Structure 1
Amino acid sequence: QIIGVVWGAPTEFKFNDVIIPEDKVPKWAPEMINHAFGQDDLYVEMTFLRSMEQYGLDVPIRQAGIDFANSEYALWCANNAGRTNLRKGIAPPDSSHPQFNKCPNDIDYQIEADFAGLISPGLPSSVIALGEKFGRLMNYGDGVYGGQFMGGMYAEAFFEDDLFKVIDAGLACIPADSQYAEMVRDLVRWCRESPADWQKTWERCLQKYRKDQAYQKASNGGIDVKINGAMVLLGLLYGQGDMEKTVVISMRGGYDSDCNPSSAAGVLGAMTGFSKLPARYTQELKFEPKFSYTAYNVPALLDVCERLARQVVAQQGGRVEKGADGKEVFVIPVRAAKPGVLALSWAPGPVAHSLFTPEEMAKIKFPIRTYPASQFADPDPTRRAQKVLDVCFPGWTTSANAPDMNPGYREQMGQTYNVLVTHPPKKGEPVILSKTVKVPEGDPQLTVNVANAPNGDFRLIVKVDGALAFETDVGGKSDFRTFTVGLSPYRGKTVKLELFNQPTGWINEAASWAQIEVSGNNN
C-alpha cells in the first residue's frame, strides 16, 4: 500500500479523463517509502483497527461511529460528509445514507478497506460484515461495494497466484447486479479482448464509466468509486505481476492516482509476499515512526493485524495448529461469500432514523450543533444578522447591513459551521459588530476567525473603547483565518469591543465570521 500511495502522490487528481504522460510519472527512490506516515490514504483505516482492538471484533457500529467522529485528521469527500454527520448526531448507518450524505458513491471506503481483507484470510464473510459496519460510516451502495470487493481480493490473495481467481473472489463479496460488479466484469472481459493494449481498455473505461450518464448516477465525477476501481484493476490486469508495472499503469490511469496504485500494489503484495518485493522498495523503511493521528508504527500495525486475524479465524470456525516443527498454521473453513442485498445510491432504501443518544453525544469530542435556516429568517438583512449573533455570538450587536450577498446564517462553509455573513451598507461605510465585555485576568485576548468572499476582500479593524487595536486586509483565497488581538492592557476592565467589516472598494465586500471570542488563561 505504501509503495503505491507515495509513488503516485505527486500526480493525485492532476490528470482526469486523460492518461498521464510517461514523462510525468515520478521516478521511484528508496527513501520515498518513508513518506507514508502522514498519508490519509493509509491512516484512516487504522482508526477501524483501533476500534476493534479496544472493543473487540464485534464492536457495535455506533461505537465505531463515535471513534470515527473523534478522529482528528483532515478528511474529504464521503469520509468528511460521514464524519460530519456523526458529529452532528446522525448515527450510522444513516451517516452514509444519501438523504444526509451527498458523496455516497465516492472512493473513500475503497481506499480504506485493505484492513478488512488483511485480517480475514480466506474468509469473505468477515470482509462483507466489516464493510457493512465500517463502510457504512461514510459510503452507501457502490461506495461500500468497492471496499468489499477490494477486501475480498486481499482475503483470497494469501492463497492464490491466479489473478483472475482473486478478482472472482472479490466479485463474490458484492451484489452481482450492482454497477460496480458490472465494471469489474467489463474490465476482465476488455483485458481478455485487448491483452496487450491497456490504453485501449482505459479508453473503454472512459467512454462507459465517465461519459455514459447511466453510470454517473449519484456520482461526484472523477472521485466516483467505479472509475477509480477500474484504474486499480487496470494496473493489476496489465501489470503482469510486476510491482513497478502494476503501480505505474494504475497511476497513469489518472483520477485518484495515488489511492488506486496503493490498492493495486497492496493486493499484489498480498499475493507475492513481503520477502519477494525488490529491495529498492523496502530497504529504507523506518519501523519506529508512528503513522499520523494513530497509535501505530509498523511493528505495532503488524502486531494488531495478526492478533485480529487470529480472532477472525477463530470467530469464523477456524483454528490455529502447531506442527512438529513448531510453526503455526491457520486452519480456515472454506465458506461461500454471501453478499448483502443490492442498495442503490440514486434510489436508496428508507433511512433508519438512527440518532446518537445524549450519552453517546457526550463521548464525541468535536460535536457540531447547527440550526435550521428558518430560525433566522427575516426580510431585513440587519435583523437577520442580529438573529444569528443572538444565537451564535451572544451579546454582540450589528450595525446596518445591505442586502447584497444575503447577510445572515450559513450552516456550513467548507469545513466550518455556524457562520455569520455581514455586508457593509454602502461604499465607504462599515458593518460594526460591538459588545461590552469585562476583560478576564491572566493573558486575555480576542480571537476572530473570519473569511472574505470569493473574489472579494475587506479590511478587518478592531477597536477597544474607540482606540485602534488591530487592522489587516482580508483577501485573496477565501479561507477562514484566525487573528488574535492581545487585551492585556485592559485586564479586569469593562470595555467596548468593535469589529469592523470595512469595505475597501465595492466588489464582494462581505465578511464571514466563524469565531469571535474573548478568553484568558482561566477561560
Structure 2
Amino acid sequence: MQQTRTIILFLIVCCIACRAKAQKPPEPLLLSAYQDRVKAVWAAQILGAMLGWPFEHKAASVSWIDHLSDTITHAPVDDDWYYEMVALRAFEQYGIDMSVQQLGKQWLQNAAGSWGSSEQARLLMLRGIMPPDCGHPRYNKLWHTIGPQFSSELYGMLAPGLPNVAGSLARKYTHINGYAEGADGGVFVAGLVSLGFTEKDTRTIVRKAAQLIHPASPYRQCLDMVIRLAAAGKSAPEVFSAIEKRWRIEYPASNNAVANGGIVAACVWFGNGSFLKTVNLAFQAADFTDADCNAASAGAVVAAMHGMSALPAGMVRQLGDRIIGRQLGGVILTPAVNESIAQLAARTTAIGLQLLKNKGMVIAGSRIKLIAEPVHTQPAELFRLEALTRFWNPEWKLRNPGFGGAGGGMPGLRGITYLEDSVLATYPRDEVKGVLLTRTITLNGQKELRLSVGVDSMRAWRCMVFINNYKKFDQLMEGPASGRGWKTIKIDLTEFAHQQVTIRIYQRVLIPGKVSGNAYWKDLVIQ
C-alpha cells in the first residue's frame, strides 16, 4: 500500500511539473531583436520571391539557387509584399482595431489587387461590393486561391509569439480577398510567422500553426497529412509528391491555397531554420506551383526565428534598402512605391508594439514580456461549391462541381465553378461524370422547363436533360468565334402532368475533337 501511495504521489508531482513547464512564459523578447526580426521578415519575403520567380507556375528547379542577378540594385514592388504594405498603411490610418471595410478603402486608395482573388476583390469593390463580401464565394470566384496566404506574414509580425492573435487578425482581414480554404492559408502563415519569434524548432512551429485551422477544413487536412508523413520519416520529396497527388487533383490551379499551403508547411518542417535550404525546397517541390510565394512565406518563418543574420548578406545588400515600382501588371499604383525596407520594418514594429500593449503585454525598457498562450483552434469556416445554388436558385441541387481557376496566367484551364451575378458557371470535378443540376417536383399545372445556357468562345460542352429516366434533350453547345454564346432550351412537360418527377440536367465535357469549357446557366424555370 505504501508503495502504491509513493507511485501516485510521484505521478502527481510529475503532472504538476509538466503543467508548470507547459505554462512557463516564453523568454522576454528584446525590442532590438523584435525590430531586427521584423526587418528580416520583410527582406526574406522579398528575397524568397525574387529567387523563386524563374519557377513561378513553371517547371521546378533541380539546382541549388543561392544568388540574385548581378543587375539587381533594389526590390521591385510585387503583390507578395505590396498588399502587406497597404495593410500597414491602413493600420496607421485607422488604428489597430480597423475594420475589414476600412482595409478595403485603403486597397482602393492604393490600387491594390492585380491578379487572382485580389484582382477580383478590387474589381468587386469598384462595383460597390465591399469587404467581406468581395472575398466571399458568392462574389469572388477565386476565393480558394493563394492571395490571402502570401499577404499574411504582416499579421504574424504584428503579434510575435501570439499565434491566436495573429490568426484572428488574418481571419478578419483576409476576408477582403478570400474565404474558407483561402482565408485558412492566411491564418496558417500568420501563425507560422508569429510562432517563429518564440519557438526554436521548425517542426513545433508547423504543428502549432496547423492547430489554428479547424480539422474539418481541407486546408487542415492537407497540413495533417504533411505532418503525419514527415513525422513518420518520409523525405521532403516524398511529402511534396503526396501533397500534389492528393490535393492538386482537388484544386488543379497552380495558385490554389491548399496544395501550396502544404508545400509551405513541408518547406518549414524540412528547412530546419536555414533560409537557403527552406526556399530551395520551395523551388524544388513540384512543377507548376506558386513557387515564389511559397518560398516567401516559408523563408519569412526562418527570418522570424533568427533575424537578419539568417539571410545572405550579399543579397540583402543588393536590395539597396529600397522597394520601387509604379505598377503591378496593368494596374497603376497610387501612389507609386519608393520606400525604405528599414523604415517599413520600423513602422511595422511601431504598430506591433501598440497591438502588444493592447493585448496586455508588458513592455519594460528594452524588453517585451510575452505571455505564453496555448494555440486555440478557430471555428470552422467551410464552403462547398455545391452551396452556390443557395445564392443562385435554391430549388436546384448542384452535384460534382470542380474548382479549377486561373493560375499565373496559364492558359488551357478549361473551367471553374463560380457565380457571376445571376449566372452560375460550372465545370466538373470529375470529367467522366460531368456536372449535374437536379430537382424533384410534383407538376401541378407546370407545362414547360425552360433553361438559358451559355458557352465560351471556341469551347464546347454537351447538355443532356432527363425527366425521370427519359432523355428529353441531348445537344452539343458550341461557343461562337468571340464572346459568349447563349441558347434557350424548352422541354415540354405536359406528358408528366400531376406526377412527381426528378429532373436531371447534365454538363458533359468529354467531347471528341472539341475543347471543353464552362457551362453557364442563366435561367432554370419550370412554368
TM over 0.5, shorter chain: yes
User: What's the counterpart of residue 59 of structure 1?
Assistant: 98
Alignment of 1:265-284 (within 5 A): 265-284=299-318
In structure 1, the partner of 2:27 is none
Alignment of 1:464-503 (within 5 A): none
Deviation at 1:345, TM superposition (A): 2.7
Query: Which position in structure 2 is the counterpart of 1:84?
Result: 123
Structure 2 vs 1, CA of residues 85 and 289 (structure 1 numbering), >3 Å: closer, same or farther? closer
SS in 1 for 2:148: helix
Structure 1 Cα separation of the partners of residues 362 and 157 of structure 2: 17
Separation of aligned partners in 2, 1:337 and 1:186: 19
In structure 1, give the amino acid aligned to 2:347. Answer: V
Moved more, 255-264 or 336-345: 336-345
Matched, 1:7 2:51: yes
What is the percentage of aligned positions where both structures have the same residue? 25
Whether 1:343 and 2:381 are equivalent positions in the alignment is yes
- CA drift of 1:249 comes to 1.2
Cα distance in structure 2, aligned partners of 1:21 and 1:52: 38
Q: Kindly state the Cα deviation for residue 27 of structure 1 after the two structures are TM-superposed.
A: 5.2
The CA deviation at 1:279 is: 2.3
The 8 Å contact of residues 117 and 140 in structure 2, kept in 1 or not, is answered as yes
Contact 2:90–2:103, Cα closer than 8 Å, also in 1: yes
- Per-residue displacement from partner, 1:357-378 (whole Å, max 9, x unpaired)? xxxxxxxxxxxxxx9899xxxx
Counterpart residue type for residue 142 of structure 2: C
The secondary structure found in structure 2 opposite 1:317 is coil
Q: 1:299 to 1:177 in 2, by over 3 A?
A: same
Q: Does 1:307 align with 2:350?
A: yes
- Which amino acid counterpart does residue 319 of structure 2 have in structure 1? L
CA–CA separation in structure 2 for the residues paired with 1:345 and 1:127: 23
Q: Are the counterparts in 1 of residues 86 and 112 from structure 2 also a CA contact under 8 Å?
A: no
1:401 is matched with none
Contact 1:81 1:103 in 2 (8 A): yes
The offset of 1:224, in angstroms, is: 1.0
Q: Please name the residue that 1:500 is paired with.
A: none
CA contact (8 A) 1:118 1:154 kept: yes
Displacement of 1:234 after TM fit?
2.5
Corresponding residue to 1:100 among 122, 139, 149: 139
How far apart, CA to CA, are the structure 2 residues paired with 1:99 and 1:193? Answer: 40
Q: Matched residues in 2 for 1:161 and 1:129: separation?
A: 23
Contact 1:194 1:201 in 2 (8 A): no
Find out whether 1:297 has 2:350 as its counterpart. no
Q: How many residues align?
A: 344
1:405-424 to structure 2, matched below 5 A, reads none
Shift of 1:144: 0.5
Decide whether aligned partners of structure 1 residues 372 and 193 sit closer, same or farther in structure 2, where only a CA change above 3 A counts: closer
SS at match of 2:110: coil
Displacement of 1:147: 0.8
SS in 2 for 1:320: strand
Any idea what the Cα deviations from partners look like across 1:388-445, whole Å, max 9, x if unmatched?
xxxxxxxxxxxxxxxxx999xxxxxxxxxxxxxxxxxxxxxxxxxxxxxxxxxxxxxx
8 Å CA contact 1:106–1:220 kept in 2: the answer is no
Does residue 254 of structure 2 align to residue 222 of structure 1?
A: yes
Query: Residues 171-198 of structure 1: CA distance to partner in whole angstroms, max 9, x if unpaired?
Result: 2322232111111111122122344x32
* C-alpha distance after superposition, 1:147-167 (max 9, x if no partner): 111101111111111112211
Structure 1 residues 291 and 48: alpha-carbon distance in aligned structure 2, compared to 1, 3 A threshold: farther
The secondary structure found in structure 2 opposite 1:177 is coil
Shift of 1:58: 0.8
Partner of 1:334: 372
Kindly indicate whether the alpha-carbon contact (under 8 Å) linking 2:113 and 2:120 is maintained by their aligned counterparts in 1: no
* Partners of 2:72 and 2:211 in 1: CA distance: 33
Q: How far did residue 295 of structure 1 move?
A: 6.8
Q: 1:21 to 1:296 in 2, by over 3 A?
A: closer
The CA distance in 2 between the partners of 1:91 and 1:252, in whole Å, is 38
1:285 has 2:335 as partner: no
State the Cα distance separating 1:96 from its structure 2 match: 1.2
Equivalent residue of 2:165, what SS?
Answer: helix
1:120 aligns with 2:154: no
1:132 CA drift (Å) = 2.7
Whether 1:231 and 2:263 are equivalent positions in the alignment is yes
Given candidates 180, 190, 205, the residue that maps to 1:141 is 180
Residue of 71, 76, 79 corresponding to 1:37: 76
1:421-432 mapped onto 2 (5 Å cutoff): none
Deviation, 1:239, is 2.3
The CA RMSD measured in Å over matched residues stands at 2.8
Partners in 1 of 2:261 and 2:101 — Cα distance? 28
Q: C-alpha separation between the residues in 2 aligned to 1:26 and 1:278?
A: 12
Q: Any gaps of 5 or more consecutive residues in structure 2? A: 1-44, 327-335, 392-419, 424-454, 458-480, 484-527
The Cα shift of 1:289 comes to 4.7
Q: Report the Cα offset of residue 228 of structure 1.
A: 0.6
Distance, in Å, in 2 between the alignment partners of 1:207 and 1:306 is 40
Give the C-alpha shift of residue 291 in structure 1: 6.0
Query: What letter is aligned with 1:330?
Result: I
For 2:301, the aligned partner's letter is V
Distance, in Å, in 2 between the alignment partners of 1:32 and 1:152 is 35
Shift of 1:118: 0.6
1:317 is the counterpart of 2:360: yes
* CA distance in 2: counterparts of 1:46 and 1:167, whole angstroms: 25
**DSSP-derived class of the 2:254 partner:** helix
Match of 1:512 in 2: none
Contact 1:111 1:259 in 2 (8 A): yes
Contact 1:43 1:294 in 2 (8 A): no
Distance 1:235 1:33, change over 3 A: farther
**Are 2:195 and 1:156 aligned?**
yes
Aligned residue for 2:244?
206
Choose which of 288, 294, 300 in structure 2 pairs with 1:260. Answer: 294
With over 3 angstroms needed to count, the CA separation of the structure-2 counterparts of 1:88 and 1:345, relative to structure 1, is same
8 Å contact kept, 2:135–2:175 = yes
